Structures are given as structure tokens and as C-alpha cells.
Amino acid sequence: MGYLPEREVCHMRRHIDFDKIGITDDVMFCTVLSNSEDCREFLQRILGIEIEEIVVVGTQVSMKSNFHAKGVRLDVYAKDKKGNAYDIEMQTTKMRELPLRSRYYHSEMDSYQIAAGEKYGNLKHSIVIFVCNFDLFVKNRSVYTFESICREDTEIHLQDKRKTIFININGSREGVPKELAHLLDYLKTKTPTDGFTERLEQRVLKIRRDTEWRDGYMTLEMKMDEKYEQGREQGLKEGITKGIEQGIEQGIEQGIEQGIEQGIEQGIEQGIEQGIEQGIEQGIELGIGQGLRVQIQKKLNKGKSISQIADECEESEEVIWKIIRENDWKA
């Protein structure tokens, strides 16, 4: 039996510490808010309104309006008694394109609200909420609410029934209602401070002990790992191909220049050979780099420290920080 590379052996033996999985873990968050009553109270605190009844349509819900469209997966998708639609997303990785993602989420949710031939007046309210552990707009606010208004006259509202909210759990609590402040503090510290957050924490503790949920969590982790390996292999393959093409092109150019003095035929042969070698080296670097970026982003989403990520990826902390800065990620 052959030996696996050290990186893969370490990867296969990775242990999940379920006691450290809290409410901001994406899978845990979806599981907790799959309870309709907890989801209703969660929404009421963020929106500051009374909601008579909430039905959680599903968690990790896939939406794709047509065959050619880009599919999306909503963390927690719910509807109230009036048919208004809500999407709640737990976001632990800072991405500059979040506002554009919110636009696409709204459009997909709308496509599922009315059928062909129905009147646009049948469209209900569509609300997308991102719960973030970072400040996307860097204004130290806890809540950023966006609706369509007229720039020339801010008293005129478009009334397109769309609302997008970005929650920053680390923001200032100034002007934040008390009940919402309790919820944001719990999301930030994992320490409950009132009845509702205590109820959420008890659900987290109960879910952690559920062996079926643990099995499902590990299965999901394995699938994510498989996707990482597939991405790494694909990136490596594409990188090598691209590198060889670039290398041959560069090599031919270099070979032609050398060939003026040494003979064009000999120069081209040497150039191609050198180019292939350079291309393979460049391609391997490109492929491994792409795979490493995917792995780092996944570990950041799990809230792991830079030292933990460096240790598990077998890279220096300087390399990890460099990749994080290049991709403008939040660490």
C-alpha cells in the first residue's frame, strides 16, 4: 500500500470539535432557525415589527428560475401568513459583492412568488437579511437597512416591496432597541442575556448532542472537502495547461531570438523545451494556489484563527495573511 502525502493524511484525520460549534456556524444557524417560532422571534427583533405567523419553507434552499440561470442557495427561507418572503443569511466571510448577491437573491425569490400570466400586483414583500460578523460599510452601525427611494426627493419611495438589511453584530448599540441588542450580543459573544437568547442557546446545546445531526454535519464536511479536492485538481490541471501554453509561447519567442545567432531551428527547439518546463512549474503553482485559497476561505468561514489555518494547511502565517489580503477577506 502506497503512502498518502502528509497533507492528505492530516486532512483525513481532521477532528471536528462539536463543543465549539456555536450559533454563527452556518449549519448550526440553519438548524436552529428551522424552528418556525424561533425564526419568527428572530425576524421580529431585526425588523422591529409584529409577525403573526411564520412558516420556514426550508433551510439551504436551492433556487434556480430557469435552466440557464445561476442557482442560489438560501440559508433560511421563510414566509409569513400574508405571503411575504424572508431570506436570512449567516455571513462570516467578508465579500465585496454581497450587495450584488442580495440583488440576485431578491430576483430569484420574486420569480418564485408569481407564475406566468399573474399580475405584478400579486408580488409580496421580499426581505433579504445578511447577519455578518464584520462591518461591510465600515460605519460602526449594527443595522444597515436599504430600500428604494428617489435621490432627488427622498420622501418619494419606489414601493417595490424590496428590503435588504445588513446586520453587523460588532457594531455600536447606540439607538438599537433593547431586544435586538440582546440578540446581537448573543450572536457576538455566544452568551445569552434574556429569555429568547437563552432559548436559542439551549437549542444549540441540544443540537450538538444529537448524533444524527453530528453525522449529517460530518457528511456535509466530507462533501465540502471533496469539492475542495476537485477544485484543487481542476485548478492544478488548468494551471498546468495555461502555464504550458504561456511557456511555449515565451519559449518560442526566446528561441527565435537565440536562433538568430545559433540557428533558428535549434533555438526554437530549446525554447519550446524550456517553455514547457517553465509552464509546468507555473501551472503547478497556479493550481496549488487556487486550491489553497479555497481551503483558507472555508476555514475562515468556520471562525478558525490564522495560526490554526496555517498549521492545518502546512503554510506559514505570512503566506496565509498574504492570501487573505490579496482577496480582501475578513480574518
Q: Do 107 and 78 fall into the same domain? A: yes
Q: Which amino acid is at 257?
A: E
DSSP summary character for residue 120? G
Q: Do 68 and 136 fall into the same domain? A: yes
Q: Look at residue 11 and tell me if it is in a domain.
A: no
pLDDT of residue 12: 41
Final residue before a domain boundary, out of 185, 209, 233:
209
Q: Which amino acid is at 130?
A: F
Q: 0.75 exceeded by the pTM? A: no
Q: Do 43 and 174 fall into the same domain? A: yes
Q: Look at residue 137 and tell me if it is in a domain.
A: yes
Final residue before a domain boundary, out of 188, 209, 230:
209
Q: Look at residue 3 and tell me if it is in a domain.
A: no
pLDDT of residue 86: 96
User: Which sign does the torsion angle of CA 176, 179, 180, 182 carry?
Assistant: positive
Q: Do 226 and 155 fall into the same domain? A: no
Q: Look at residue 331 and tell me if it is in a domain.
A: no
Q: Look at residue 14 and tell me if it is in a domain.
A: no
Final residue before a domain boundary, out of 152, 184, 209:
209
Q: Do 238 and 140 fall into the same domain? A: no
Burial of 326 (0-12, 13-18, 19+ CB in 10 A): exposed
Q: Do 169 and 276 fall into the same domain? A: no
* Containing structural domain, residue 272: 214-326
Q: Look at residue 313 and tell me if it is in a domain.
A: yes
Q: Do 266 and 285 fall into the same domain? A: yes
- Domains held by the chain: number: 2
Q: Do 264 and 129 fall into the same domain? A: no
DSSP summary character for residue 208? H
Encode the chain (331 residues) as per-residue pLDDT tens digits. Answer: 443 343 443 444 457 888 889 999 999 999 999 999 999 999 999 999 999 899 999 888 775 554 445 556 788 999 999 999 999 999 998 888 999 999 999 988 888 887 778 888 899 999 999 999 999 999 999 999 999 999 999 999 999 999 999 999 999 999 999 999 999 999 999 999 999 999 999 999 999 999 998 888 887 666 656 555 655 666 666 767 777 777 777 777 776 666 566 666 666 677 677 766 776 666 666 666 777 777 887 778 777 888 888 888 878 877 888 788 778 777 6
Q: Do 25 and 159 fall into the same domain? A: yes
Q: Do 259 and 232 fall into the same domain? A: yes
Q: Look at residue 121 and tell me if it is in a domain.
A: yes
Tell me whether strands 143-146 and 54-63 are parallel, antiparallel or unpaired.
Answer: unpaired
- Asked if residue 125 lies in contact with residue 93, where contact means CB atoms within 8 angstroms, the answer is no
Q: Do 298 and 182 fall into the same domain? A: no
Q: Which amino acid is at 166?
A: F
Q: Do 184 and 162 fall into the same domain? A: yes
Q: Look at residue 12 and tell me if it is in a domain.
A: no
